[in-house]
């Protein structure tokens, strides 16, 4: 099974909560990931920032490789970087299952989306809050995942921008049933229901998980918000 096929298999399991590891305890990275596994998480979200496309700087291929060594969970790698075309193969080799780059970082996303699929990964396209769906409509057919950002990318903990939720209805009109609709930025117990109602399927959460004392409880609270019983939480409670 290719990585792209595995991603679609996970999609068929229903709505997914994706912990954003940007806010985890990197001094205990393996333990943090195993805590996510124990809580029934199926997909991890990895934010790669270069200090150029966005003002923040995080990590690159070595961290993705380290995470892949300790888990078989799907790795959703979000490239918030300039010139993403230089690094698609490297992130695939590091273990990415989904490779998402920003439409704003390239002249035309189509060639890169096709390259990602040719590698065997699922292709993802992110758009900033100010970017319209119409501006990327020609590329949707080559996307396995589209990520409308609900904050300006670069830093966690920002306020949720609810106006972006209208993009999900537009994307559903353009896309077939296999397109994954993801949302990232300000997702918490207060906003997740609005995201579900708008049509999102994968929900990236950072502060709502890693700034809580009890990860399992935080994950259970979020997954209960969209009516999905988290299998790992059920098993350990």
Q: Tell me what pLDDT residue 118 has.
A: 98
Counting residues of the chain whose pLDDT is more than 90, the rounded percentage is 87
Q: Tell me what pLDDT residue 122 has.
A: 98
Q: Give CA–CA dist 154/190, Å, rounded.
A: 22
Average pLDDT, the chain: 92
Q: What is the CA radius of gyration of the chain?
A: 16
Q: Give CA–CA dist 222/230, Å, rounded.
A: 10
Q: Tell me what pLDDT residue 154 has.
A: 72
- Mean per-residue pLDDT for 63-90? 98
- Of 171-175, 202-206, 228-232, the range with the lowest mean pLDDT is 228-232
- Mean per-residue pLDDT for 3-14? 95
pTM of the full structure: 0.92
- Mean per-residue pLDDT for 23-36? 97
Q: Tell me what pLDDT residue 193 has.
A: 93
Q: Spell out the SS3 assignment of the chain.
A: CCHHHHHHHHHCCCCEEEEEHHHCCHHHHHHHHHHHHHCCCCEEEEEEEECCCCCCECCCHHHHHHHHHHCCCEEEEEEECCCHHHCHHHHHHHCCCEEEEEHHHCCCCHHHHHHHHHHCCEEEEEECCCCCCHHHHHHHHHCCEEEEECCCCCCCCCCCCHHHHHHHHHHHHHCCCCCEEEEECCCCCCCHHHHHHHCCCEEEECHHHHCCCCHHHHHHHHHHHCCCCCHHHHHHC
Q: Tell me what pLDDT residue 182 has.
A: 98
The string of pLDDT tens digits covering residues 51-70 is 999 999 999 999 999 999 99
Q: Give CA–CA dist 30/19, Å, rounded.
A: 14
- Mean per-residue pLDDT for 19-34? 96
The string of pLDDT tens digits covering residues 209-222 is 999 999 999 999 99
Catalogue the active-site residues: 47, 184
pLDDT of 232 over the 60 cut = no
Q: Tell me what pLDDT residue 144 has.
A: 97
pLDDT of 233 over the 70 cut = no
pLDDT of 236 over the 60 cut = no
């Amino acid at each position: 099974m290719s990585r792209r096929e595995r991603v679609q298999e996970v999609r068929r399991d229903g709505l997914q909560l994706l912990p954003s590891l940007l806010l985890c305890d990197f001094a205990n990275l393996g333990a943090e990931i195993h805590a996510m596994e124990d809580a029934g998480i199926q997909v991890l979200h990895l934010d790669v920032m270069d200090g150029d496309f966005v003002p923040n700087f995080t990590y690159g291929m070595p961290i993705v490789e380290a995470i892949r060594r300790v888990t078989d969970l799907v790795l959703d790698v979000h490239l918030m970087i300039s010139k993403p075309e230089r690094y698609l193969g490297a992130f695939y080799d590091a273990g990415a299952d989904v490779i998402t780059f920003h439409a704003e970082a390239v002249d035309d996303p189509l060639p890169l989306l096709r390259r990602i699929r040719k590698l065997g990964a699922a292709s993802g396209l992110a758009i900033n809050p100010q970017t319209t769906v119409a501006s990327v409509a020609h590329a949707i057919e080559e996307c396995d995942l589209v990520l409308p950002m609900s904050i300006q990318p670069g830093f966690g903990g920002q306020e949720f921008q609810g106006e972006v939720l209208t993009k999900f209805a537009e994307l559903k009109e353009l896309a077939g049933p296999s397109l994954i609709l993801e949302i990232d930025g300000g997702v918490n117990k207060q906003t997740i229901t609005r995201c579900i109602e708008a049509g999102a399927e994968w929900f990236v959460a950072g502060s709502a998980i890693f700034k809580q004392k009890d990860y399992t409880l935080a994950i259970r609270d979020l997954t209960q918000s969209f009516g999905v019983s988290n299998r790992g939480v059920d098993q350990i409670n």
